[in-house]
């Protein structure tokens, strides 16, 4: 008998301290290809020079990511890598903790459908109903 892996919901997001959020949900693993595609999409809407703060995970430091840095810089996006092992400096980590430990109700875990619906609801209403005070 083949053991079936449980489904996994992954999110990749861009967040600033004004609670502006752009998020992408995936039912697959996130690798460098996915991150690059999301950053490329994010660059399409840049209106001014922007700094993207990211951690040093392997998908952020891959050759693919490093090769795209100059192209992104020309579009107005520069990358700032946080020191190793410093999730407390990454505001998106604060968002993930709020979602997991404060905003998702126990009923969200009753089924896959409930989980997806609850997470999508939070993201749709983030900045209005769901707010983080970064002050």
Q: For residue 135, what pLDDT is reported?
A: 76
The predicted-structure confidence for 96-134, as pLDDT tens digits, reads as follows 999 999 999 999 999 999 999 999 999 999 999 999 998
Q: Is residue 5 assigned to a domain?
A: no
Number of domains in the chain: 1
Q: For residue 51, what pLDDT is reported?
A: 97
CATH number of the domain to which 71 belongs: 3.30.420.10
Q: For residue 5, what pLDDT is reported?
A: 64
Q: For residue 85, what pLDDT is reported?
A: 85
Q: Is residue 21 assigned to a domain?
A: yes
Q: Is residue 4 assigned to a domain?
A: no
**pLDDT < 70: residue spans in the chain:** 1-5
Q: Is residue 43 assigned to a domain?
A: yes
Instruction: Return the SS3 of 51.
Output: strand
Q: Is residue 41 assigned to a domain?
A: yes
- Among residues 85, 116, 118, the alpha carbon closest in space to that of 102 is found at 118
Residues of the domain holding 92: 10-124
Q: For residue 3, what pLDDT is reported?
A: 61
Q: For residue 87, what pLDDT is reported?
A: 82
Q: Is residue 44 assigned to a domain?
A: yes
Task: Indicate the pTM of the whole model.
Answer: 0.86
Q: How far apart are CA 65 and CA 62, in angstroms?
A: 5
Q: For residue 1, what pLDDT is reported?
A: 61
Q: Is residue 14 assigned to a domain?
A: yes
Q: For residue 119, what pLDDT is reported?
A: 97
Q: Under a CB-based contact definition with an 8 Å cutoff, are residues 104 and 98 in contact?
A: no
Q: Any idea which residue has 């967040």 for tokens?
A: 15
């Amino acid at each position: 008998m083949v053991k079936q892996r449980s489904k996994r919901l992954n999110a990749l997001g861009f967040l600033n301290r004004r609670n502006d959020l752009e998020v992408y949900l995936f039912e697959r693993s996130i690798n460098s290809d996915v991150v690059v595609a999301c950053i490329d999409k994010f660059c399409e809407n840049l209106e001014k020079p922007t700094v993207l703060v990211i951690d040093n995970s392997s998908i952020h430091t891959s050759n693919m990511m490093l090769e795209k840095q100059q192209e992104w810089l020309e579009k107005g996006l520069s990358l700032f890598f946080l020191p190793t092992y410093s999730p407390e400096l990454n505001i998106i980590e604060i968002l993930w903790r709020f979602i997991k430990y404060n905003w998702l109700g126990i009923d969200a875990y009753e089924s896959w459908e409930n989980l997806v619906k609850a997470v999508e609801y939070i993201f749709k209403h983030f900045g209005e109903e769901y707010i983080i005070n970064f002050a």
